[in-house]
Amino acid sequence: MTSVPQTLSASPAYPPLVLETPAMETAVTALIDRVFGPGRFAKSSERLREGNALLPDCSFVALRDGQPVGCCRMWPVTIGGEPVAFLGPLAVDPDERSAGLGQALVESAREAARAAGWRAVLLVGDGPYFGRIGFTNAHTAGVVMPGPVDQRRVLLLPLRQGGDEGLSGPVAIAPGASATS
């Protein structure tokens, strides 16, 4: 008789996700530097992160043997004065790609932001990738990033009915948010 496996693993192929802590800052920054290179500092998204304070209850890291191999950070910003969560960088180590880790990181951040009461998540990224997770540019024509950007890449995800609608004006670091490091 042919033997069959006694157990079928339901575990995903990617490593476990945890909330980012201040102790991970250096290693997560090193991961982001490896994935994006120095050019990342020229991005208009970076203007919303410099001097801002990470949302610790919505920012996730994937740990393999204790080391970050994926991250998805979230920041408090406003669009025309309305608070939304700003996502990025999303980075996955090349050795860990195409296992669903990127999507899992974004979905974890999305659900944490929903639980924390944010109305929408904003990001600048590739529509074909983030569209699978529900982001669209349907309501972003009036969203003004702090610097040059391809407006088609400005994407919103509502976290409640109509949460992505009626948002327009400049995107800025949320008042009161400030870096702790």
Ligand X SMILES: CC(C)(COP(=O)(O)OP(=O)(O)OC[C@H]1O[C@@H](n2cnc3c(N)ncnc32)[C@H](O)[C@@H]1OP(=O)(O)O)[C@@H](O)C(=O)NCCC(=O)NCCS
Q: Residues in the site for ligand X, rule: CB under 6 A?
A: 35, 90-92, 97-103, 125-126, 128-129
* SS3 letters across 139-156: CCCCEECCCCCCHHHEEE
Q: String of b and e for 5-39 (b: at least 16 CB within 10 Å)?
A: eeeeeeeeebbebeebeeebeebbeebbeebeeee
- Min dist CB 147 to ligand X, Å, is 16
Of the pair 105, 173, the CB lying nearest ligand X is at 105
Closest contact distance (angstroms) between CB of 179 and ligand X is: 22
CB of 159 to ligand X, least distance (A): 20
What residue is closest to ligand X based on CB?
102
Q: Is the dihedral of CA 26, 27, 28, 30 positive or negative?
A: positive
Of 123 and 159, which CB lies nearer to ligand X in the complex structure?
A: 123
Nearest residue (CB) to ligand X, 88 versus 163: 88
**The dihedral of CA 149, 173, 160, 141: what is its sign?**
negative
Which residue, 89 or 163, is less far from ligand X as judged by CB? 89
- Report the nearest approach of ligand X to the CB of residue 162 (Å): 25
